[in-house]
Amino acid sequence: MIHSLRLQNFKPFEDQIINFKPLTLLSGLNGMGKSSVLQSLLLLRQSYQQRLLQRKYLALNGNLVNIGTAKDALFEGAKKEEIIFELIVEHQDIQTWTWQFKYNKQSDVLSSDIAPITDNIHGFSLFTDYFHYLQAERFGPRNVFEISDDLVRQHFQIGTRGEYAAHFLYVFGKFDINTVGIKQKDSHSINRVFERPGKSEINKLIHPQENSRLLNSQVKAWMGEISPGTNIHVDPIAGVDLMRLEYSFDMGKDVGISSRYRNTNVGFGITYTLPIIVAVLASPPGTLILVENPEAHLHPRGQAKMGELLALAASCGIQVVLETHSDHVLNGIRLAVHGGKIKPEDVQLNYFQRREKQGQAFTKVISPHIDRNGRIDRWPDGFFDEWEKSLYVLLEPAGE
């Protein structure tokens, strides 16, 4: 698990420590640096996948994130031309990993004289198959979706845009959610490290109204919180490496005999949400999940339920980091704390604010705390307070 990340001279951060818990929420106005935090982690992962990090190099461009050149990555007011990432993680024991990258203005690959011993990082979730990143711009409704036997069957990936979610559900839909995504050689160590004796924590993700533990059944049950009665149908298209994703709806007396609807004839919210639900339910303890804007295209109730689902995942040994602008997602998390579904000390709230010092703008992180009742101890200006500000104006007499 990631405990903290220190960023020095990276994008809007001069020198900032960001703390993480099992569930970490990143919030703030646009352009404050929330995405930069995720990008720093993605830069490390994509550099590892390109076999560059192991040789003390950082790839600024790749399949996960594209920064540009070192000039685009360096903090504008940097006093030293270097970019430093420091990760404190729990991996077998508490470890600190530091990379100190040298600045080269036009280069898109940076080198580091200081880097951790690479043998120590191979099994950490950020660098393994026990990782999902779902970006803000996910695949919406479309007639066909891609297939990737390598990424889905061998690496348990659903794609950064959710492009393989339908294929994943087709391959693993009839698996118990306790066994999806666990490689046989890893199952013993994962159970030993992340599960309590005699009880699998992942059982807390079982929907209370669905007895079946199969991934298909659980996805349907949780999707029902977004759109009640939704059935998901995934089928391969003969002769081509593509999947068809369709929906049907149980309504009244027509339960079980309703017609299928094309994906493109159903609202954006269902398709946008599907990859998140699949990723959460299919992830074993020890997985790291990064999600941008989980609230996209969802109505308020669905956003609150999404917050609850992500909180439940975090209570099961899955580390969840989400970037959100939704007070409903936050309230879903608060309700989960209030209901005892996740401990308050397992939730980290990080609010990003723009500050200025000696004429130089930089980003500062403020971390309100949540208590056992789901109450938050302080509300800095701009921290999910827009409704309160609007209500204050509405309570005043209307102008002429």
Same domain, 147 and 269: yes
Same domain, 114 and 44: yes
The answer to whether the predicted template modeling score (pTM) of the entire model surpasses 0.95 is no
Q: How far is CA 42 from the centre of its chain?
A: 12
Same domain, 21 and 123: yes
Same domain, 336 and 314: yes
Total domains in the fold of the chain = 2
C-alpha dihedral sign at 154, 237, 224, 303: positive
Same domain, 359 and 240: no
Q: Which of 281, 310, 327 is the last residue of a domain?
A: 281
Same domain, 196 and 242: yes
In a domain, 220, yes or no: yes
pLDDT at 119: 76
Spatial CB neighbours of 349, under 8 Å, sequence gap ≥ 6: 25, 27, 330, 367, 368, 369, 370, 376
Same domain, 261 and 353: no
Same domain, 276 and 194: yes
First to last CA, the chain: 57
Same domain, 14 and 120: yes
C-alpha gyration radius of the chain: 22
Same domain, 121 and 163: no
In a domain, 135, yes or no: no
Compute CA distances 295 → 36, 83, 276, 277, 314, whole Å.
Answer: 20, 32, 10, 12, 17
pLDDT at 187: 44
pLDDT at 249: 87
In a domain, 314, yes or no: yes
Same domain, 237 and 320: no
pLDDT at 358: 64
Q: Which of 225, 252, 281 is the last residue of a domain?
A: 281
pLDDT at 29: 83
Domain holding 8, by residue range, is 1-130+286-400
pLDDT at 191: 38
> How far apart (Å, rounded) are the C-alpha atoms in residues 130 and 134?
14
Residue ranges of the chain with pLDDT lower than 70? Answer: 183-202, 251-258, 358-359, 385-388, 390-392, 394, 399-400
Same domain, 158 and 176: yes
pLDDT at 98: 94
pLDDT at 254: 52
Beta bridge partners of 196: 199
